[in-house]
Structure 1
Amino acid sequence: MVIDELLARPFPAQETQDGFSSSGPGHHLSVLQASRDFWDDPGTEIVEAAEQEIDAAFQALTSALTTRWGKPEPVDLEPCLWSGEPVPEPLAQLASLSDTLLIWRPAPGRWTGLAVGQADREFPIMLLAAVGDAAVLPAGE
């Protein structure tokens, strides 16, 4: 499973990007599944079908991770957009795509999370997995 690979992988010292994946100090972020893009302004049915497909994958993975690690904690990403302070990765990138992240704490000092996001209505809808250093999350989370 990609999430297990991300949890086991050390964090690099420098930011790196490889296609739909990125890593850096204290984080990994990977797109697990993406819909087509919507630049050609498809009908509502096509967009809804893509949303349903990504949501089904999100629900299935959420269920599997919940069975493994217990109930996830929701993290509101919206304050990251308006804080006025620098936001650490992967939260900054996730906040630009989604308003909520579900996290689990499967290993000491690390968390893993899932989100569904879209940069803008023309872009693909994505199922995202993130792994981060526990210090990246706000203290109350």
Structure 2
Amino acid sequence: MNSMNSGSGAAASPEACLALIDGLAVRPFPETVFQDATGDGGPDHLIRVLHRSRDFWDGQDPHVWEQVDAELSACLDALIAVCTARWGDPLVVDLWAGYGDGGREDLPEPFCTLSQVTMSMHAWPLPGGGRWLGLVLGQADKELPMELLAAVGLPAALDGVRDGGSADSA
């Protein structure tokens, strides 16, 4: 499986995604903001594309979208089960509840970026207290690819969302 892009629509492998997650959880944060085909990040967060489907520009049969959604949802569910076994029940973070008067611009990263593809995230504080891990499945627009994403960030960002009332226990 190509973790970056699967134009063929092949299902994401939970095992391959888990290997990427494990690497992301310990990868140093970059000194400067970046964005590339693998994801993006900054001094306080990283986002990694675990799987990106083909795009849906050609208006093909809606069953294709449904199949991709089902396959990626199954992979997300498997990853959530593994992470829950490792670290306990996740927080379910409502990424849209944090909007202030300024909209998305009021959200810290990586929540601003993640909120552009989905409404919620499953998140776990990682052992050692220095990071959290979040998983999302989303699509920025109906013509664009579906993406399975993992994010890591500093605890203060997750605490800020939780304290703001936009996270609930699963």
State TM-score, norm by structure 1.
0.93
Match for residue 113 of structure 1 among 104, 129, 134: 134
Q: How many residues align?
A: 141
Q: Which runs of 4+ in 1 moved over 6 A?
A: none
Residue matched to 2:63 = 45
Runs of at least 5 residues in structure 1 that lack an aligned partner in the other structure: none
Aligned-pair distance for 1:20? 3.0
Which amino acid counterpart does residue 135 of structure 2 have in structure 1? L
Determine whether 1:24 maps to 2:24.
no
For residues 38 and 31 of structure 2, the distance between their equivalents in structure 1, rounded to whole angstroms, comes to: 19
Runs of at least 5 residues in structure 2 that lack an aligned partner in the other structure: 1-18
Residue matched to 1:5 = 23
Question: What are the residue-to-residue correspondences of 1:1-141 with 2, within 5 Å?
Answer: 1-84=19-102, 86-107=106-127, 108-137=129-158, 138-140=161-163, 141=167
Report the RMSD for the aligned CA atoms in angstroms.
1.4
State TM-score, norm by structure 2.
0.78
More strand by share: 1
Percent identity, please: 42
For residues 121 and 20 of structure 1, the distance between their equivalents in structure 2, rounded to whole angstroms, comes to: 21
Q: Check conservation: 2:135, 2:148, Cα contact below 8 A.
A: yes
For residues 2 and 80 of structure 1, the distance between their equivalents in structure 2, rounded to whole angstroms, comes to: 28
Higher RCO (CA-CA < 8 Å; seq separation 6+): 1
